[in-house]
Amino acid sequence: MRMSKLTDQLSGSVIREMYNEALKMDDTISFTVGEPDFVTPAPIIEQACLYWKKGLTHYTPNVGILELREAISQYHKNDLAPNPDNEIMISCGATEGIQMALFTLVDPGDEVIVVTPAWPNYFGQIGMCGARCKVVEAREENNFIPDPDEIQAAISPKTKAIILNSPSNPTGAVIDADSCKRIAAILADRDIFVISDEIYSRLVYDEEKYTSLASFEALKEKTVYINGFSKMFAMTGWRLGYAIAPPAIIKNMTKLHENGASCLPAPSQIAAAYGLLHCQDEIERMKASYQARRDLICGLLDTVPGVSIRKPKGAFYAFVNAKELTHAAGMTSRELCMDLLQKTGVVTVPGSGFGACGEGYIRMTYATSEENITHGVERIREYARRF
């Protein structure tokens, strides 16, 4: 009996492939899954436990509880200023928010522009809609910031949407204000929706100025802003994200959400609202730690033969140029990462999993301890010396 063509055509994420391979081994040091190694701040956990114990164990509104939507509105009062009644939807993680946005905006046969290297799930999510991915490559020499002229050149009569991710997973690139302005000008008069994935927006370093694509008035009526609590509060397992968009888009995203995840637990949402209103210092504490780890891993990688790294401006990923090493080893980036895992126990992600232009790179997350970073890069250094 044959299953659906949809599932036949979808492939899994290379991130999870490496993660699962490592589970078969002992004594590994992992730089794979982009997950904070911090525990969710205690006050947030305590709030959730309090309301679980109070018996808030029933269904909630599909769009999300008003208390959390009002907290999000307050959090964004100085930039997006969304109406909590009809411009915010709570999703099952930012991942579901992106998927609901695509299902709302895109029809089979439409084109969606994606800047690569890109988070692999974008490709699968676009495929689930029956749409076609149109790639714009961001280059290392431009600090992995997309060229607005190349975005403009990629637009065709079939272009229905563009996904922009800043800070970027996997490169850590932060799209500068001038590039954002140019991209906004290109899209302003076109019938193209913008899905702005800003899940890492609180993790921007070196006093780099952060600009949100959703903040441009010309794009306001056609932008879906995506964020969540996984990265800012180390709440990955809580599966709480949110979308901000015009009322008509939110209404339709909520209909889709109702037919999928349906709703999220009240205690989790109440706790997230508490975090937004009372735990901002915790975000800054984690951010300072990530910046120190970024500086550590970049400094150590500079001592590894055959690789180089441009210091990322945001998120918690190092997108390492290993082209010299892959050439010397006679391997693709995937083969190199597998060989590195088998011989040293260090788990990384091949850059080819983030789009064809990622070949020759490897992604490493520094959302791990300084001890792991030091020992892991030492193993990589010894491995690289063989070539």
Q: What is the mean pLDDT of residues 287-294?
A: 98
H or E segment to which residue 336 belongs: helix 333-344
What phi and psi, each to the nearest 5 degrees, are found at residue 217?
Answer: -60, -35
pLDDT surpassing 80 at residue 12: no
pLDDT-based confidence at residue 233 (cuts at 50, 70, 90): very high
Cα separation, 110 vs 100, in Å, equals: 16
Specify the pLDDT at position 8: 78
Which of 95, 123, 127 lies closest to 108 in space, CA to CA? 127
Specify the pLDDT at position 18: 84
Cα separation, 327 vs 383, in Å, equals: 14
Please tell me the total number of residues recorded for the chain in this structure: 387
Q: pLDDT tens across 33-86, in order?
A: 888 999 999 999 999 999 999 999 999 999 999 999 999 999 999 999 999 999
In order of their start, the domains of the chain are 5-40+281-385 (3.90.1150.10), 43-279 (3.40.640.10)
What phi and psi, each to the nearest 5 degrees, are found at residue 214?
Answer: -70, -10
H or E segment to which residue 228 belongs: strand 223-228
Cα separation, 271 vs 278, in Å, equals: 10
Q: pLDDT tens across 337-380, in order?
A: 999 999 999 999 999 999 999 999 999 999 999 999 999 999 99
Looking at every residue in the chain, the average pLDDT score rounds to 96
What phi and psi, each to the nearest 5 degrees, are found at residue 26?
Answer: -105, 165
Specify the pLDDT at position 71: 98
The predicted model scores a pTM of 0.96
Specify the pLDDT at position 15: 83
Lowest mean pLDDT among 6-15, 19-28, 54-63, 164-173: 6-15
